[in-house]
Amino acid sequence: MKTALQTVIDAWVGERIVVSGGGQEVLIDPSQISFNVEASVAQYEETVDKPWFAFWESERVVHLPLQVTLLEDATNAISKINTWDQEATIQAVTTQISYLKEHEIEAILKDLSQVENERLALVIKELPDGAVDLENIAELLDDTILYPGETFSFIEKVGKTTADREAKNFVASLLYEAVLHTEFEILERRSQEQVPAYSEAGMDAAINIQYREDLQFLNSSKSVAKINAEVDDSQFKVEIYSDTKSKDVLVHILKEDISPRIIHRYSEELPVGGEQLIQEEQKGMRAVVTRSITVNGNTTEESISRDYYAPQNRIVLVSTQQPVSGIPESSVTGNPPENETEEPSMETNQDSGDETNQTQNPEYDPDTQLDLDNNDLPDIPLNEDENALPEGSYYDKGGNIVIP
């Protein structure tokens, strides 16, 4: 009997023995299972043995568990999973092995009513205008249990919702902000590229199911976490709980404004000098998000994201029409603007004025104004008595004065 029983045991331990539950699993090495074959056979014989005076009794069918002990390495592996009830799980594993049942053994989870002992994060926002079916997202997200080492996917969790994209982005942004205040590891997140009214730079998240743009994070803690979500009147609330809180988390946002530019576009339809505002300007921003995690007095800094929000440039439509050539602009556009007058030139050209006066003199002779010796006097002297000639006299071709 002992040989037959040992053969059955050897065949059973030839397959993988897996203990799983709550997103965690442990492989049990057969060498960590101790089967006491002799004690098991002795117990069987004692149970089926009958006294001589009970010879009339028929043979009984007896099902007895084997006597099994889990060694230290196996129990330690189970105890490391803090979401499992250690004693209950070890008992469940021992019992299933003792009957040589299935090789996949379900662990016994701790009472999850203790998960809400510590609140890790709380975010409350006013409901945005135009978001459709936020209540449906809240129902799908509420009471989500996240075990250590388990990954959360927003698309997988609420992908079948009837809510529109605006509602998904809104809830994803709230959830992302809440997760930042935990020690959970951010695996995937995309910015909306424009800061929504309900959030601030660096805290928004975008969801696009068609392009698989998701929000994913990992419960990198050693405790079970629970996500609660609800719509309360005109507000949406997201909470993250755990049974213990061993780390303090602070989130820091460094912001840098980006100035917009002025862009001119041109149109022939506007009047001369006309302008039309097409788009108002709006500042852009760069946001750098970091997180500091403190445990037992030791603080580590973690870089989370670097987001760029492009500025909205000012766009102005300007007329391409020009004033009519030769006509003062004031004649085209009307009277000059009030408080705008033309001032006379403060510069004068004395030489120009003298030249004008001389050219207007009928007796001016440029040939007599030659100054070859540069002494500012004409080289040919003027005849001061020329105007005193007798009446009727004149010069002949030889330059002689003829007096009649």
- What pLDDT, in 10s, does the model give residues 360-381? 454 555 555 555 555 555 555 5
pLDDT of residue 344: 40
Q: Is the pLDDT of residue 174 over 50?
A: yes
**Mean pLDDT calculated for residue range 248-264:** 95
- Quick one: pLDDT band at residue 5, thresholds 50, 70, 90? confident
pLDDT of residue 222: 85
Q: What mean pLDDT do residues 73-86 have?
A: 86
Q: Which bin fits 344, alpha (ψ -120 to 50), beta or left (φ > 0)?
A: beta
Residue with tokens 């510069």: 347
User: What band does 341 get if pLDDT is binned at 50, 70 and 90?
Assistant: very low
pLDDT digits (tens, 9 = 90+) for 269-290: 999 989 999 999 999 999 999 9
* Lowest-confidence pick of 9-13, 112-116, 327-331: 327-331
Mean pLDDT value of segment 85-112: 88
Q: How high is the pLDDT of residue 176?
A: 98
Q: Answer yes or no: is pLDDT of 37 > 80.
A: no
State residue 42's pLDDT score: 76
The reply to whether the predicted model has a pTM over 0.85 is no
Could you give the domains of the chain? 2-106 (no CATH), 112-245 (no CATH), 247-334 (2.20.230.10)
Predicted confidence (pLDDT) at residue 340 exceeds the cutoff of 50: no
Q: What does the pLDDT read at residue 277?
A: 94
Q: Taking the CA atoms of the chain, what radius of gyration do you get in angstroms?
A: 50
pLDDT tens-place string over residues 202-234: 999 999 998 999 999 999 998 889 999 999 989
Q: What is the mean pLDDT of residues 240-247?
A: 90
- Specify the range with the lowest mean pLDDT, choosing from 62-66, 192-196, 236-240, 359-363: 359-363
Residue of 338 and 101 predicted with greater confidence: 101
Tell me the mean pLDDT in the region 154-171.
Answer: 92
Report whether pLDDT(342) > 60: no
Please state, rounded to an integer, the average pLDDT across all residues of the chain.
Answer: 81
pLDDT tens string 384-403: 444 555 666 666 655 566 66
Chain CA centroid to CA 396, Å: 106
How high is the pLDDT of residue 352? 43
Share of the chain above pLDDT 90, in %: 46
Beta bridge partners, 17, equal 28
